[in-house]
Amino acid sequence: MNFYRKALHLGFGFLIFGLSYVVSYHLLGLLLVSLVILNSVFEVLRLFFYDYLPLKRLWTPLFKKEEFYKISDGWFYLVGTTCLYYLVGKEDFRLILLILTLSDPIASLVGFYLGKKKIFRGKTLEGGVAFFLMSLLVVLLLKGSLTFQYFGLTALLSFIELLTKRDNFWIPLVGGLYLKYLV
What tens digit of pLDDT does each residue of 131-180 get? 999 999 999 999 999 999 999 999 999 999 999 989 999 999 999 999 99
Q: Tell if the pTM clears 0.85, that is, is over it.
A: yes
Residues 36-61 have a mean pLDDT of 91
Q: ∠ at Cα 86 (41, 177), nearest 5°?
A: 115
Q: What is the pLDDT of residue 1?
A: 58
Q: Are 132 and 119 in contact (CB under 8 A)?
A: no
**Which of left, alpha, beta for 31 (phi over 0: left; psi -120 to 50: alpha)?**
alpha
For the segment 35-47, the average pLDDT, to the nearest whole number, is 95
Q: Which among 18, 179, 182, 175 has a CA at the least distance from the CA of 81?
A: 175
Half-sphere exposure of 144 (CA within 13 A, CB side): 1
The per-residue pLDDT of the chain, averaged, comes to 93
Residue 132, judged by CB atoms within 10 A of its CB (0-12, 13-18, 19+), counts as: buried
Angstrom CA distances, 78 to 13, 82, 141, 160, 182, stand at 10, 6, 24, 17, 24
Beta bridge partners of 123: 120
Nearest-angstrom CA–CA distance, 106 and 141? 17
